[in-house]
Amino acid sequence: MPPTRLFLRVKADVLALLHDIPAGRVTTYGAIAESVGVRPRYVARVLATMSDGEAEGVPWHRVVGAGGVISTMQVPGVGERQIALLHREGVRVSERNRIVEFATVFFTPG
DNA sequence: AAAGTGACTGACA
DNA sequence: GTGTCAGCCACTT
């Protein structure tokens, strides 16, 4: 099934916003969604349906759930990978899978 | 057409 | 601080 036009538009917008997020900072699905004009779940869907190849060079790991939750923990393997990537940028994650000092590393897109 | 499904959120206990 | 839950709505059976 080919993606809908809306999906492609949102995907392009989301990717553009992701590249504006500096290393060491994170944003949320909700914040991106607000900027793009869709629901948070839609943003999540866009990221979740990206292949490894598409994710190449895309800082998808800088997107977390509201409050700094690593929501990708729901997908086996992905959560661990995201945390590793964040650590590499100096973003600490608690053992409860939450961003440490979330308020200070939060970045508002757009 | 109808029911199922979330890489989500905010509210509430 | 943590855990549940209902609402959400586009997408997928």
State the 10-residue block means of pLDDT for chain A, 110 residues long.
Answer: 81 93 95 92 92 90 94 91 94 91 91
Chain B nucleotides close to protein (CB under 7 A) are: 6-10
> Taken in order A66, A70, A72, A73, is the CA torsion positive or negative?
negative
- pLDDT recorded at residue A1: 63
Closest CA to A65 of A99, A100, A20: A99
Q: Look at the block and give the residue holding tokens 């990978």.
A: A81
Residue type at A73 in one-letter notation: M
Q: Look at the block and give the residue holding tokens 């990221």.
A: A47
- What pTM did the predictor assign? 0.93
Q: Does the CB of A66 fall within 7 Å of any strand C atom?
A: no
Name the protein residue, with chain letter, whose CA is nearest the C1' of B7.
A72
